[in-house]
């Protein structure tokens, strides 16, 4: 924040040290508590050596690097935490929710009557509030959509609504008799409207000109008026810290605009709700929810106010897949668990079948029951901030809060979230992160079950009707594009030796090719070049699958024989080496490509499909 700002958030937030709040240092271990790091390292190293993830001669202490992973923000997620991780750390912004979170179900409003039936069904079966995503830009008949909904008990919020829809919703609420639930939100989302270039109004009234009238209507109605939608940036590929920094910067901008409208900081805080994405990366998601509260608490403190963050978590749309959509249920469960543990006030589980189109009753039922199971059967909500005190989570929360604060600083240095320069810079940084993630998906270091790993090539997808458009950068989009147009020809899998001998590499190659929409036809158990050639049926692309010993003994001879029989492109399952078929020397006994762990799967599949299409 800079000295140019007056009123809320006035100065003093430029340095990372300003993130430190007033509460005392953490001490989560007693003086008599002991632990033996060396014993843990030895036990863990023994397991990793068995799994061949640690060398026989590697020191036991290497287990830390073997098990630690790094997020897209460069933050290390350790396998376990230690008391030393919290030396000098302080904390604030801890979750304040007690008991169950608000089970907020998502509804796509295409047909008003059907939307009303779905809303009542959800509310009668475990949902406690509604998030409505509307078709088009015009406002629906709200009396029809919300007929029978008890608006004093069930909050209603909008998702990526146009200004027409926000105004129509406000007019409807003004005509409601009786009190409204204070968690209801007009959901005016200036940043998403402008950041994503949404159409504002037919008469081209600036969204900023509507800011004042909308917030005053919300204040008079006793409901929230503003939405800070971090999921809009997440859907474009943002990292956790980028989403946090953008959301807090937007919140700060709204505080300034609200101050111009005459609202105090505390009044302003009550008008704003934050929406963040929850992913199937469990611990980073828990830390993100906790870090968000810490960051917002610091902004409010620096602005001279108090208050809490109203936090709505939505399970990530980019992490879901159109292929093998049933896996989305597992992703959504982990994400909902992490959001609840992280202290989200409301949690929306995106139905598993949303990538296919308009979710049906079964998809919505599974989505709402995910929260019900976590709350009622697993008792996840029985403890406030259950992750508090975990050394690893506390350290991860602190690291992510600092990274988010740094992103906030970059946005403020560019003029704040309302400045065009800041938006362009944010989009550029998000694009860079998305490219890194795409690279990890491509080489399968970031595996996607059912998409890049263990694909079901012959699956039959459920059919769903069209749903209202909502942009999302699905992580597996490149694999999905290939699967949408399967290869016309199979690859011949030249299996060498017994089933026991070739099955590991044959299975690996089969799954890799299936991820790109390519089927295989296998030779089966063989014991010679002649046996493999006899099973060969003239396929253009051939993949050898066997042991290193078989490659060394008769691999070159097999490659020569297959080329003579008509193969134009020969792939080796495994990495070329001294004991395998030679690669790239140009003779008939050399292979053209190879497939092993770490290969750029998308590039490999592109080469194979190009050859199949010749």
CA-CA distances (angstroms) from residue 232 to 19, 124, 484?
25, 30, 26
495-509 as b/e, with b when 16 or more CB fall inside 10 Å? Answer: bbbeeebbeebbebb
Q: What is the pLDDT of residue 29?
A: 54
- In the predicted model, what is the mean pLDDT of residues 306-314? 93
- Which domain-ending residue is among 398, 430, 462? 430
Contact (Cβ atoms closer than 8 angstroms) between residue 133 and residue 468? yes
Q: What is the chain's percent helix, strand, coil content, to nearest 5?
A: 45, 10, 45
- Which domain-ending residue is among 86, 111, 137? 86
Same domain, residue pair 53 and 172: no
pLDDT band at 467 (very low <50, low <70, confident <90, very high): confident
Q: What is the DSSP letter of 591?
A: B
- Quick one: what percent of the chain has pLDDT higher than 90? 75
Close Cβ partners of 137 (under 8 Å, ≥ 6 residues apart): 162, 164, 165, 199
Task: Tell me how far apart the alpha carbons of residues 183 and 51 are, in angstroms, rounded to a whole number.
Answer: 50
Q: What is the pLDDT of residues 389-418, one digit of tens each?
A: 888 999 999 999 999 999 999 999 999 998
Q: What is the pLDDT of residues 539-583, one digit of tens each?
A: 999 999 999 999 989 998 999 999 999 999 999 999 876 445 554
pLDDT band at 93 (very low <50, low <70, confident <90, very high): low
Three-state secondary structure string covering 412-453 = HHCCCCCCHHHHHHHHHHHHHHHHHHHHHHHCCCCCCECCCE
Q: What is the pLDDT of residue 95?
A: 77
Q: Average pLDDT over the chain, rounded to whole?
A: 89
Task: Tell me how far apart the alpha carbons of residues 156 and 170 are, in angstroms, rounded to a whole number.
Answer: 12
Domain annotation covers residue 91: no
- In the predicted model, what is the mean pLDDT of residues 419-431? 93
Domain annotation covers residue 295: yes
Examine the pLDDT at 317 and tell me if it is beyond 90: yes
- Which domain-ending residue is among 61, 86, 111? 86
Same domain, residue pair 577 and 515: yes
- In the predicted model, what is the mean pLDDT of residues 353-361? 93
Domain count across the chain: 3
Task: Tell me how far apart the alpha carbons of residues 278 and 289 are, in angstroms, rounded to a whole number.
Answer: 8
Close Cβ partners of 242 (under 8 Å, ≥ 6 residues apart): 73, 233, 407, 426, 429, 430, 433
Same domain, residue pair 388 and 521: no
Same domain, residue pair 168 and 209: yes
Same domain, residue pair 77 and 134: no
CA-CA distances (angstroms) from residue 401 to 190, 283, 290, 408?
25, 14, 9, 10
CA-CA distances (angstroms) from residue 450 to 276, 410, 514, 515, 552?
26, 38, 10, 8, 34
Q: What is the pLDDT of residue 18?
A: 52
Q: What is the CATH number of the domain that holds 587?
A: 3.40.50.280
Close Cβ partners of 226 (under 8 Å, ≥ 6 residues apart): 185, 186, 187, 188, 189, 190, 214, 215, 218, 254, 271, 272, 273
Domain annotation covers residue 553: yes
Q: What is the pLDDT of residues 4-43, one digit of tens each?
A: 333 445 444 544 445 554 444 445 555 666 668 888 999 9
Other residues' Cβ atoms within 10 Å of the Cβ of residue 94: 15
Q: What is the pLDDT of residue 237?
A: 95
pLDDT band at 58 (very low <50, low <70, confident <90, very high): very high
pLDDT band at 353 (very low <50, low <70, confident <90, very high): very high
Same domain, residue pair 398 and 286: yes
Same domain, residue pair 108 and 53: no
Same domain, residue pair 377 and 523: no
Q: What is the pLDDT of residues 217-264, one digit of tens each?
A: 999 999 999 999 999 999 999 999 999 999 999 999 999 999 999 999
Element housing 99 (H / E): none
Name the nearest CA neighbour of 347 among 129, 82, 581: 129
Whose structure tokens read 């934050």? 274
Contact (Cβ atoms closer than 8 angstroms) between residue 569 and residue 593? yes
pLDDT band at 1 (very low <50, low <70, confident <90, very high): very low
Close Cβ partners of 273 (under 8 Å, ≥ 6 residues apart): 157, 185, 187, 224, 226, 227, 228, 310, 311, 312
Domain annotation covers residue 30: yes
Q: What is the pLDDT of residue 32?
A: 63
Structure tokens at 574: 């495994």
Same domain, residue pair 265 and 302: yes
Rg over CA atoms, the chain: 28
Examine the pLDDT at 213 and tell me if it is beyond 90: yes
Same domain, residue pair 168 and 36: no
Domain annotation covers residue 207: yes
Q: What is the pLDDT of residue 84?
A: 83
Q: What is the CATH number of the domain that holds 113?
A: 3.20.20.240
Structure tokens at 395: 């350290």
Domain annotation covers residue 279: yes
Domain annotation covers residue 281: yes
Same domain, residue pair 317 and 425: yes
Task: Tell me how far apart the alpha carbons of residues 292 and 528 are, in angstroms, rounded to a whole number.
Answer: 63
Examine the pLDDT at 201 and tell me if it is beyond 80: no
Domain annotation covers residue 421: yes
Element housing 311 (H / E): strand 311-315
Q: What is the pLDDT of residue 89?
A: 78
Q: What is the pLDDT of residues 108-128, one digit of tens each?
A: 999 999 999 999 999 999 999
In which domain, by residue range, is 507 found? 485-612
Same domain, residue pair 176 and 303: yes
């Amino acid at each position: 924040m800079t000295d140019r700002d007056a009123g809320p958030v006035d100065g003093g937030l430029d340095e990372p040290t300003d993130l430190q709040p007033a509460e005392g240092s953490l001490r989560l271990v007693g003086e008599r508590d002991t632990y033996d790091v060396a014993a843990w390292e030895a036990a863990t190293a023994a397991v990793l050596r068995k799994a061949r993830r640690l060398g026989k001669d590697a020191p036991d202490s290497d287990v830390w690097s073997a098990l630690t992973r790094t997020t897209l923000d460069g933050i290390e997620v350790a396998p376990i935490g230690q008391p030393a991780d919290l030396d000098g750390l302080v904390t604030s912004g801890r979750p304040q929710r007690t008991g169950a979170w608000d089970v907020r179900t998502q509804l796509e409003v295409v047909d008003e009557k059907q939307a009303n039936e779905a809303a009542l069904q959800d509310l009668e079966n475990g949902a406690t509030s509604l998030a409505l995503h509307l078709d088009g830009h015009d406002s629906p008949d709200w009396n029809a959509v919300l007929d029978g909904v008890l608006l004093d008990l069930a909050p209603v919020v909008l998702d990526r609504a146009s200004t027409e829809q926000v105004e129509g919703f406000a007019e409807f609420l003004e005509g409601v008799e009786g009190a409204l639930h204070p968690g209801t939100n007009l959901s005016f989302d200036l940043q998403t409207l402008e950041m994503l270039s949404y159409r504002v109004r037919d008469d081209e009234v600036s969204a900023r000109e509507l800011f004042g009238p909308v917030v005053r209507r919300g204040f008079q109605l006793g409901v929230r008026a503003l939405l800070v939608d971090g999921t809009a940036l997440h859907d474009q590929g943002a990292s956790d810290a980028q989403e946090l920094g953008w959301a807090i910067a937007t919140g700060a901008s709204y505080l300034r605009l609200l101050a111009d409208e005459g609202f105090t900081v505390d009044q302003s805080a009550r008008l704003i709700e934050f929406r963040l994405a929850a992913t199937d990366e469990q611990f980073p998601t828990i830390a993100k929810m906790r870090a968000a509260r810490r960051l917002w608490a610091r902004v409010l403190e620096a602005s001279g106010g108090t208050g809490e963050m109203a936090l709505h978590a939505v399970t990530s749309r980019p992490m879901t897949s159109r292929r093998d959509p049933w896996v989305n249920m597992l992703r959504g469960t982990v994400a909902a668990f992490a959001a609840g543990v992280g202290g989200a006030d409301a949690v929306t589980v995106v139905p598993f079948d949303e990538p296919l189109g308009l979710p049906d009753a079964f998809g919505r039922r599974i989505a709402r029951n995910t929260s019900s199971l976590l709350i009622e059967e697993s008792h996840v909500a029985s403890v406030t901030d259950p992750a508090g005190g975990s050394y690893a989570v506390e350290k991860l929360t602190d690291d992510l809060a600092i990274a988010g604060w740094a992103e906030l600083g970059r946005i403020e240095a560019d003029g704040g979230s309302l400045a065009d320069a800041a938006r362009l810079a944010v989009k550029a940084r998000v694009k860079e992160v998305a490219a890194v993630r795409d690279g990890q998906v491509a080489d399968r270091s970031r595996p996607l079950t059912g998409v890049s790993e263990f694909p079901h090539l012959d699956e039959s997808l459920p059919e769903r009707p069209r749903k209202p458009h909502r942009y999302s950068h699905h992580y597996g989009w490149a694999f999905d594009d290939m699967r949408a147009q399967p290869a016309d020809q199979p690859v011949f899998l030249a299996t060498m030796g017994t089933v026991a001998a070739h099955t590991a590499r044959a299975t690996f190659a089969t799954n890799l090719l299936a991820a790109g929409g390519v089927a295989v036809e296998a030779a089966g158990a063989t014991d010679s070049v002649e046996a493999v050639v006899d099973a060969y049926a003239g396929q253009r692309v051939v993949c050898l699958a066997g042991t290193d010993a078989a490659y060394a003994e008769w691999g070159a001879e097999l490659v020569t024989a297959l080329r003579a029989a008509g193969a134009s492109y020969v792939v080796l399952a495994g990495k070329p080496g001294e004991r395998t078929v030679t690669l790239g020397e140009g003779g008939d006994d050399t292979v053209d490509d190879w497939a092993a762990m770490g290969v750029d799967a998308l590039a490999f599949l592109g080469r194979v499909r190009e050859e199949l299409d010749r």
